Amino acid sequence: MSTWKDSIDIFLSKDQLEARIQEMGKELARDYEGKDLLVVGLLNGVFIFMADLVRAMDMRLEVAFMQVASYGGNTISTGEVNILHDLERPIGGRHVLIVEDIVDTGLTLHKVRNMLLDRQPASLKIATLLDKPCRRNVQVPVDYVGFTLDDHFAVGFGLDLDGKFRNLPFLGVYNPS
């Protein structure tokens, strides 16, 4: 039986991830001090990163989730963005931070960002664990970046390949044998 070790090379260790997320949390808490902040995670991949990030933010905030899909079990975005679950609360006049696991083509964030801007938040910024600017088809402003990744397919720490590998405590690069 094969294991993850047969097809995944470690890119970022658990310790490296934890250290950077703590830094990001402190930066966000400083930037949003005294503001009415709603942190919006884009499911499914963001759940581990976002849990660690909001715990690293020493401030009052609220959490909400949207579920969007654009990969459909592939290692390359399909280019079609589907909103599977929208926000259940209004965001008008609130400061909103979208949290994403990875920014790849930019298509998902472009659609979500424009949709949320139409709802007139006080501000709207984006934080991501991984940024892949080399794959960008649509430019979106990414305000807080954990790490930059070259053109590789990342798994682990919430990121998946067709639902698998989310549970790995590190970020790996998928290399099928």
Structural domains of the chain sorted by starting position, each given as residue range(s) with its CATH number in brackets: 4-70+80-174 (3.40.50.2020)
Which long-range contacts does 166-169 make (Cβ < 8 Å, 24+ apart)? Answer: 166/44, 166/45, 166/48, 168/4, 168/8, 169/14
| Residue tagged active-site, from 6, 36, 52, 104 | 104
Mapping DSSP to helix (H, G, I), strand (E, B) and coil, where does residue 146 land? strand
Q: Answer whether 109's CB lies under 8 Å from 80's CB.
A: no
How does 97-106 read in b/e, with b if 16+ C-beta sit within 10 Å? bbbbbbbbbb
Catalytic residue list contains 104: yes
Determine phi and psi for 93, rounding to 5 degrees: 80, 0
Q: What is the pTM of this model?
A: 0.91
Give the SS3 label for residue 143: coil
Please determine, for residue 2, whether its predicted confidence score (pLDDT) is greater than 70: no
What are 147's two structure tokens? 């790490």
Query: Which pLDDT tens digit goes with each residue over 90-143?
Result: 999 999 999 999 999 999 999 999 999 999 999 999 999 999 999 999 999 999
Q: What are the phi and psi torsion angles at 40 (to 5°)?
A: -110, 115
